[in-house]
Amino acid sequence: MSAMKPQEDADSYYRASCRYRIDARPLRGARRADVAVIGGGITGVSAALHLAERGAEVAVLEARDFGWGASGRSGGQILAGFSIDQRKLEKLVGEARARELWEHSLAALDLTRRRIAEARIECDLAENYVHAAVRESQARDLREWAEHLSARYGYELQYLEREQLREIVASELYSGGVFDRRSGHLHPLNYCLGLAQAAQRAGASLHNASAVREVRESSSETTLRTDGGSLRCGQVIYACNAYLGNLQPRLEKMIMPVGTYIIATEPLAPARADALIANRAAVADTNLVLDYYRLSADHRMLFGGRVNYSGWAPRNLERPLRRRMLRVFPQLAGARVDFAWGGKVAITRNRAPHIGSFGARNWFAHGFSGQGMSLSGYAGGLLADAVMGETARLECFRAIPHRAFPGGRALRAPALVAEMAWRRLADRFA
């Protein structure tokens, strides 16, 4: 059993069950590439794979190990749509553009499954997703949301009354829910590293332990400097998400890193696991500070939640998550917790992904706001196309209006904590 550490370097269940190892080396000396990708998560390795397949010379610079960030430690859900409610997205960009964005989210699911099949990535891909409502008011809103998607987008969801939901998720907590057959879940680290290996096979150069310390732009090229070398390139893709830091201040102010945490129980007897979630769906509730959970391929309960907006990691990670898990499934009172880990995701103010470009040679994708497992890989493909001069698919994402978080680096976290506390209070009495 791993030590229970709140630090991001704590052993996760995903790391313990990882099937892949990447043959990467730190950048050494002076090198050149057509395209440099900064960040070795799903966005970055997907962009590298798309570019290498099209004959570009591409190098990926990862500060730690490939899949070290959210791509290798998340809840693993692959979902239709975005973290922003589709009805709110319509108000932001108009119905026509919102419809185009919705279709992109479905294309992202298709791409995820296609890449897994093509590269034969062993990542425990599973179907089904349930969105569950704790209160009656949330259940009514879920029903309206499902009806809206059916009427406007032709996307069929099954609304579940309390007892219907109880047949799938063995919890007395929920008032109703929505069943989505097209969404699902997977092992995020194996998926990310499987994509990385595919990119490497296609000709991409992968460099770990190669944090970019300096970016220098001239009229004709960009030079990235690491501790061990330098890379000259024609174009740069920033795929750092919550770990961008101050590498590009114009991008950093548009996102906020927030912490999220997961525990994994001991392996359960298969019948016991099936009795908890009958169809092995991934599940998430509708609360502002939501719980999300699913069963692993080896029958563990993976239970996540307790989003942290303050930037401070909790001292005892297992205890509050176990308490939340038992609120949903008191049947697990005797189950041992084998792993507890956390990490950061990047959110935007409107919870829509932030994808686009700045200058003539710089591209970025981040701020998936907790729903990036399929969207990030798709965004990597969008950016690869844009680098090759094909920007049509990118335009609708550029049309999403984004605003910087207020307060600058020093005050934006306290301001967001205060806002979330108010929203939680309002949500509780809604």
At residue 408, does pLDDT exceed 70?
no
Contact 363, 238 (CB under 8 A): yes
Q: Is 151 exposed, middle or buried (0-12, 13-18, 19+ CB in 10 A)?
A: exposed
Helix axes 95-119, 188-202, angle to 10 degrees: 80
The domain limits of the chain are: 13-419
Where is pLDDT greater, at 317 or 349?
349
Q: What is the CA radius of gyration of the chain?
A: 21
Q: What is the distance between the alpha carbons of residues 245 and 243, in angstroms, rounded to a whole number? A: 5
At residue 399, does pLDDT exceed 90?
yes
296, HSE (Cβ side, Cα atoms, 13 Å): 27
**Structure token pair of residue 239:** 């795929």
The SS3 of residue 346 is strand
Band of pLDDT at residue 422, cut at 50, 70 and 90: very low
At residue 421, does pLDDT exceed 60?
no
CB neighbour list of residue 324: distance below 8 Å, 6 or more residues apart: 291, 303, 305, 306
Per-residue confidence (pLDDT) for residue 310, from 0 to 100: 63
Which range (167-181, 199-213, 322-336, 400-414) has the least confidence? 400-414
Contact 313, 259 (CB under 8 A): yes
Kindly state the DSSP code that residue 336 receives in the 8-state scheme: P
CB neighbour list of residue 197: distance below 8 Å, 6 or more residues apart: 20, 22, 119
Element holding 50 (H helix, E strand) = helix 42-53
Kindly state the DSSP code that residue 266 receives in the 8-state scheme: P
Average pLDDT of every residue of the chain: 93
At residue 400, does pLDDT exceed 70?
yes
Cα dihedral sign, 77-80-86-92: positive
Q: Which residues pair with 59 in a beta bridge?
A: 36, 205
Q: What is the pLDDT of residues 82-124, one digit of tens each?
A: 999 999 999 999 999 999 999 999 999 999 999 999 999 999 9
Give me the percent of the chain exceeding a pLDDT of 90: 87
How far is C-alpha 38 from the geometric centre of its chain's CA atoms?
17
Per-residue confidence (pLDDT) for residue 413, from 0 to 100: 55
Backbone angles phi and psi of 399, in degrees to 5:
-75, -15
Contact 191, 42 (CB under 8 A): yes
**Structure token pair of residue 133:** 């409502």
Band of pLDDT at residue 429, cut at 50, 70 and 90: very low
Band of pLDDT at residue 345, cut at 50, 70 and 90: very high
Reported pTM: 0.94
At residue 9, does pLDDT exceed 80?
no
Per-residue confidence (pLDDT) for residue 416, from 0 to 100: 54
213, HSE (Cβ side, Cα atoms, 13 Å): 9
At residue 350, does pLDDT exceed 50?
yes
Q: How far is residue 350 from each of residues 47, 254, 405, measured CA to CA in Å? A: 25, 10, 10
At residue 285, does pLDDT exceed 70?
yes
**Structure token pair of residue 230:** 């330098």
**What is the homologous superfamily of the domain 13-419 according to CATH?**
FAD/NAD(P)-binding domain (3.50.50.60)
